[in-house]
Amino acid sequence: MATVSTALPKRRATVPVRKPGAARSRVLLFADIVGLSPTLLLYGLFIVIPVFFAIFLSFTSWNVVGPLRWVGFSNWSRFFSDQGAHHALLVTFELVALSWLVETPLAMALGLFIAGRQRYRAIYAAIYLLPLLLSTAGIALMWEGLFSPDFGGLAWFSFHLHISFLNQNWLGDPSITLYVVVVIIAWQFVPFHALIYQAGRRSIPRELDEAARVDGATIAQTFRYITLPQLRYTIVTSSMLIIVGSLTYFDIIFILTQGGPGDTTRVLSLYMYDSGFLQTEFGYASVLAVVLAVIGIAVALLLIRVTGFGRMDSGREGIS
Amino acid sequence: MSATGLAPAAPENVTIEPTSARIERRRQKSLAGAVRAPRLARFLAFLLGTVWLVIVLVPIYYMVLASFRTQGEYLTGNPWLPTGGLSLSSYSTVLSATGIAVDFRNSAILTLAAIVIVVLFSLGAAYRIVRRGSRFAAVSFRLILFGLAVPIQAIIIPIFIIVVKMHLYDTLIAVILAASASLIAVAVLLMVNYVRAIPVELFDAMTVDGAGEWTVFIRLVWPMARPVLAVVSIFAGLGAWNNFLLPLILTQSASTNVLPIGLYLVASTSQYGVDVPVVMAAVLLSVLPLVVLYFGLRRQFVQGLGGLAIR
């Protein structure tokens, strides 16, 4: 009977359960099952099973109504020769790269700005967060009104103030639509990343700033040698969220452009939606879904690897 | 202090001030408040901050102004200035004709149900994970963390098929369950971090007094977790209220539309064509409850949004 207690995992000192005898550990196991099973059921049914189901489906041919057929790797070989999929991948990478390039410096600058304790900056920060309350559908419609080529707010400037630059077919000109989408996504998400940078800046120990000041460092030097190195985990976190987030970005593009004009904004997630829910080729769409997930997870792991994000202990070097 | 006060015309005086006094003064300054950047840097920061403020507010201002126009005025008038009078007609159009009342009700049901499910389930799970009573809890936690890496777009097809097979397609229940599942991993993580911070002595004291696991949960964990309940509720509520993909895939009829879908349909159906003021009024009505809550509970909102950072 005593062996039951040794089978328990090693417990750290956080919340020890007192001297679990056999009866006691049965009680604990029962409590664990009661406490965890609602979460696990929901989670298993809608997250864990779908992950394996998606991989399984990628080897089948199915349109939901008809019978499910095992087709081996034919969906996968189709993916490797599908020009549409390659183009979607390219557009997705463009969107990811542009989003990162636009959002990171802006978010960092604004994050440092709202990390200041001045009262007006707190008020600014409160207003910055307003876009996060709007649904993506709402944001898309708002910008659609602004960008409308005939009666939109920007078109008005070009007609009445003769700023012809503003008279563009913002959402219909193949050469600029992707950039417009990047700008709208940045409008929505830069404040959120600024919030991350604000928290990162505020957690830098005051002693480091003081040391720099006592040594007579200029503000540029302080930024280069104190702020930037100390923010590196914040940069990784924010970059990871931007990259993984824009890899799977769907809502704005679905509502505003439907992938167009042509296929200039047809990202992978939209291509997957079209293959699955418009052409009901769930097998092939699942290939695209698996590719999406694999790229996302690979990027996250790579960033963690390259930057040593996992080794949290080194984050405080130079202190104490 | 006195050195600069005595000779304001000769700034060189500052440099002959004893070093120790200078350091002391700086130390006190830094103790008093924020790190002081040079005036030019502070001005540039102010400029940058204000530019972004304008960028945030201009589209919102445009939307608010357009929503108080009639379609005719919007097309002919100046869209940037409130000339030619304002009207509430687009709001009455939205409220009376577009079925947005149904969407609103559905969104409210979805959001409240998702909040209740996510908060109760994740607190129960977090309590057991922190308690470390059995191996089962540890394994479960690892499984939940694994799911944080999975983007919902990548598993939307299996979710759709499972919902169809469960005969839940085109029901709010399907959206409620799927949305809750997509939010629960982060919620568990937020809760675990919080429950872990409850002092061990409190658990010990209760256990020594003979309290069972259930009593500890009801009398200790639940009351202590109040602040994080608000944070998780806001995180889950925002995630559910603004979700677009799940209701898009899992529902189709007008009676199960939620607000984001309703907005999308208002804008894309020919029934209203490009009646921009009506669309803008609908968007503003949909965000109004959140704005009211936001200015009431700003701190909890910021923490709840921080939860999104984990995703």
Tens digit of each residue's pLDDT (9 = 90 or more) over A8-20: 344 444 555 555 5
pLDDT interval class at A165 (50, 70, 90): low
Distance, in Å, from the CA atom of B136 to the CA atom of B153, rounded to the nearest integer, reads 29
Which of B23, B39, B146, B157 would best serve as a mutation to test chain A binding (most A beta carbons within 10 A)? Answer: B157
One-letter identity of residue B17: E
Q: How far is CA B20 from CA A54, B32, B97, in A?
A: 68, 18, 74
Distance, in Å, from the CA atom of B177 to the CA atom of B276, rounded to the nearest integer, reads 34
Tens digit of each residue's pLDDT (9 = 90 or more) over A170-182: 777 777 889 999 9
Asked if residue B138 lies in contact with residue B146, where contact means CB atoms within 8 angstroms, the answer is no
> Average pLDDT of A112-140?
87
Closest C-alpha among A225, A237, A249, A224 to residue A198: A237
Task: Report pLDDT for B14.
Answer: 39
> Average pLDDT of B147-174?
89
Task: Name the A residues in 208-227 with CB < 8 Å from any B CB.
Answer: 209-210, 213-214, 219
More confident residue, B133 or A48: A48
Distance, in Å, from the CA atom of A277 to the CA atom of A91, rounded to the nearest integer, reads 21
Helical pair B226-241 and B100-131, crossing angle rounded to 10 deg? 140
Q: Which residue in the set B49, B143, B264 is minimally distant from A137, CB to CB?
A: B264
Inter-chain residue contact B149 with A297, CB threshold 8 Å: yes
Task: Report pLDDT for A11.
Answer: 43
Residue of A nearest to B80 (CA): A153
Chain A residue numbers with beta carbons less than 8 Å from the beta carbon of B138 are 9
Inter-chain residue contact A153 with B62, CB threshold 8 Å: yes
One-letter identity of residue A117: R
pLDDT interval class at B36 (50, 70, 90): low
| Range in B37-46, B91-100, B130-139, B147-156 with the lowest mean pLDDT | B91-100
Task: For chain B, say whether A19 makes contact (Cβ under 8 Å).
Answer: no
Please spell the DSSP secondary structure of B247-306, one letter per residue.
HHHH--SGGG--HHHHHHHHHHSTTTTT-HHHHHHHHHHHHHHHHHHHHHSHHHHHHHHH
Least Cα separation, residue B148 to chain A (angstroms): 10
Distance, in Å, from the CA atom of A109 to the CA atom of B45, rounded to the nearest integer, reads 8
In the CATH scheme, what is the code of domain B96-310?
1.10.3720.10
Q: Which residue in the set A27, A190, A214 is minimally distant from B23, CB to CB?
A: A214
> Average pLDDT of B197-206?
85
CA dihedral A303, A306, A311, A315 (to 10 degrees): -90
Chain B residue numbers with beta carbons less than 8 Å from the beta carbon of A148 are 274, 276
Residue B209 DSSP SS3: coil
User: Domain locations in chain B?
Assistant: 19-67, 96-310
> Average pLDDT of B190-206?
85
Which of A8, A32, A277 would best serve as a mutation to test chain B binding (most B beta carbons within 10 A)? Answer: A32
Does residue B100 surpass a pLDDT of 90? no
Nearest 5 degrees, angle CA B28-CA B29-CA B34?
130
- For residue B119, count other CB atoms closer than 10 A to its CB: 23
pLDDT interval class at B67 (50, 70, 90): confident
Q: What are phi and psi of A60, to 5 degrees?
A: -125, 170
Task: Report pLDDT for B308.
Answer: 59
Tens digit of each residue's pLDDT (9 = 90 or more) over A135-160: 888 898 888 888 877 777 777 777 77
Task: Report pLDDT for B23.
Answer: 56
Distance, in Å, from the CA atom of B61 to the CA atom of A223, rounded to the nearest integer, reads 35
Enumerate the β-bridge partners of residue A70.
A60
Does residue B57 surpass a pLDDT of 90? yes
Tell which phi-psi region holds residue A260, choosing left (phi > 0), alpha (psi between -120 and 50) or beta. beta
Inter-chain residue contact A35 with B128, CB threshold 8 Å: yes
Q: Which residue in the set B120, B185, B298 is minimally distant from A126, CB to CB?
A: B298
Which of A39, A42, A147 would best serve as a mutation to test chain B binding (most B beta carbons within 10 A)? Answer: A39
Closest C-alpha among A129, A77, A88, A102 to residue A248: A88
Residue B33 DSSP SS3: coil
Closest C-alpha among B282, B302, B240 to residue A198: B302
Inter-chain residue contact A46 with B177, CB threshold 8 Å: yes
> Average pLDDT of A80-87?
90
Least Cα separation, residue B179 to chain A (angstroms): 9
More confident residue, B106 or A213: B106
pLDDT interval class at A92 (50, 70, 90): very high
Q: Which residue in the set B130, B157, B213 is minimally distant from A282, CB to CB?
A: B157
Q: Is the dihedral of CA B237, B54, A123, B91 positive or negative?
A: negative
Inter-chain residue contact A135 with B26, CB threshold 8 Å: no
Tens digit of each residue's pLDDT (9 = 90 or more) over A48-61: 999 999 999 999 88
Does residue A32 surpass a pLDDT of 80? yes
Enumerate the β-bridge partners of residue A60.
A70
Does residue B290 surpass a pLDDT of 50? yes
More confident residue, A200 or B123: B123
Asked if residue A259 lies in contact with residue A270, where contact means CB atoms within 8 angstroms, the answer is yes
More confident residue, A248 or A102: A102
Closest C-alpha among B303, B237, B284 to residue B95: B284
Determine the length of chain A.
320
Tens digit of each residue's pLDDT (9 = 90 or more) over A182-236: 999 999 999 989 988 888 888 888 888 888 888 877 888 888 888 888 888 888 8
One-letter identity of residue B80: W
Asked if residue B158 lies in contact with residue A54, where contact means CB atoms within 8 angstroms, the answer is yes
Tens digit of each residue's pLDDT (9 = 90 or more) over A254-294: 988 887 787 888 899 999 999 988 888 899 999 999 999 89
Q: Which residue in the set A31, A192, A219 is minimally distant from B128, CB to CB?
A: A31
Please spell the DSSP secondary structure of A143-176, one letter per residue.
HHHHH-TTTSHHHHHHHHS--GGG-S-TTT-TTT
More confident residue, A175 or B61: B61
Distance, in Å, from the CA atom of A272 to the CA atom of A268, rounded to the nearest integer, reads 6
Residue of A nearest to B75 (CA): A151
Inter-chain residue contact A151 with B74, CB threshold 8 Å: yes
Inter-chain residue contact B213 with A153, CB threshold 8 Å: no
Chain B residue numbers with beta carbons less than 8 Å from the beta carbon of A20 are 133
pLDDT interval class at B19 (50, 70, 90): low
Task: Report pLDDT for B311.
Answer: 44
Please name the helix (run of DSSP H) or strand (run of DSSP E) that holds residue B167, with its range, or none.
none
Task: Report pLDDT for A19.
Answer: 56
In angstroms, how far apart are the furthest CA atoms of chain B? 85
Does residue B257 surpass a pLDDT of 80? yes
Task: Report pLDDT for A304.
Answer: 72
Please measure the distance between the N-terminal and C-terminal CA atoms of chain B and give it in whole angstroms: 50
Asked if residue A46 lies in contact with residue A266, where contact means CB atoms within 8 angstroms, the answer is no
Please measure the distance between the N-terminal and C-terminal CA atoms of chain A and give it in whole angstroms: 49
In angstroms, how far apart are the furthest CA atoms of chain A? 88
**Considering chain A, what is the average pLDDT of its residues?**
81
Q: In chain A, what percentage of residues exceed pLDDT 70? A: 87
Task: Report pLDDT for A8.
Answer: 35
More confident residue, B115 or B80: B115
Which of B153, B164, B222, B231 would best serve as a mutation to test chain A binding (most A beta carbons within 10 A)? Answer: B153
More confident residue, B149 or B258: B258
Distance, in Å, from the CA atom of A253 to the CA atom of A258, rounded to the nearest integer, reads 6
Distance, in Å, from the CA atom of A234 to the CA atom of A241, rounded to the nearest integer, reads 11
- Global ipTM: 0.81
The distance of Cα B6 from the centroid of its chain, to the nearest Å, equals 54
Distance, in Å, from the CA atom of A63 to the CA atom of B305, rounded to the nearest integer, reads 38
> Average pLDDT of B7-18?
39
Find the radius of gyration of the CA atoms of chain B.
27
pLDDT interval class at A2 (50, 70, 90): very low
Q: Which residue in the set A48, A54, A251 is minimally distant from B143, CB to CB?
A: A48
Place of tokens 């004291």: B205
Task: Name the A residues in 21-50 with CB < 8 Å from any B CB.
Answer: 25, 27-29, 31-36, 38-40, 42-43, 45-50
For B87-90, the CB contacts below 8 A with 24+ separation are B89/B277, B90/B275, B90/B277, B90/B278, B90/B280, B90/B281
Asked if residue A110 lies in contact with residue A191, where contact means CB atoms within 8 angstroms, the answer is yes
- For residue B305, count other CB atoms closer than 10 A to its CB: 21
Residue B198 DSSP SS3: coil
Which of A26, A40, A47, A60 would best serve as a mutation to test chain B binding (most B beta carbons within 10 A)? Answer: A47
What token pair was written down for B205? 């004291």
Distance, in Å, from the CA atom of B255 to the CA atom of A91, rounded to the nearest integer, reads 36
Closest C-alpha among B181, B120, B186, B188 to residue B156: B181
> Average pLDDT of B46-69?
90
Does residue B263 surpass a pLDDT of 60? yes
Residue A69 DSSP SS3: strand
More confident residue, B104 or A172: B104
Residue A61 DSSP SS3: strand
